[in-house]
Structure 1
């Protein structure tokens, strides 16, 4: 199977610091990786995680962030496979992990990653 698991679920929040107590103290998650700009914070739950992503507006329109990420051991193979189906994909990017972005038929962003 090309895709082995759902890697993370992105959860838009207006303020990561204010959102953290719910995911850590209430739900029992463990804080993990955060980016250098403070726009992303992972919270681990067993073998998977959610990623809090900072937004500056209310959720009244489509988001510009991926809703979830699929993990693959071969980012280039996955990129070629998705593109071969006529789906518009971004270039493969690197920021702590290799990833690319595509959109479903409703323009929801989905990320494919490898690390």
Structure 2
């Protein structure tokens, strides 16, 4: 039996950072994808917290982590989280209709992968 260790770190994810190159264009793309108003504030010139239900998403040009380099901060080459939907087929059709880069077809009637303009991989998953 393993011992439970007391820790000051909570077992709760606060927010997920998504590396982007152009904060304004990324804000517009993510707000359209998520059905959010496009007036989310940009903080300190490089952060844009999106109003989410549950765990937060923060778009970030990541100046401390390569964002000031010519190629920008490294993108997410594998899905690091999933966005949920009640209707997978309608979400897939929405992606097609809105010219979102679709990486996979619907897999196992449960999920598919898209890329944002910075080629970050994002999973859309049936709830």
**Higher RCO (CA-CA < 8 Å; seq separation 6+):** 1
| Greater fraction of residues in strand | 1
TM-score normalised per structure 2 = 0.41
| Structure having the higher Rg | 2
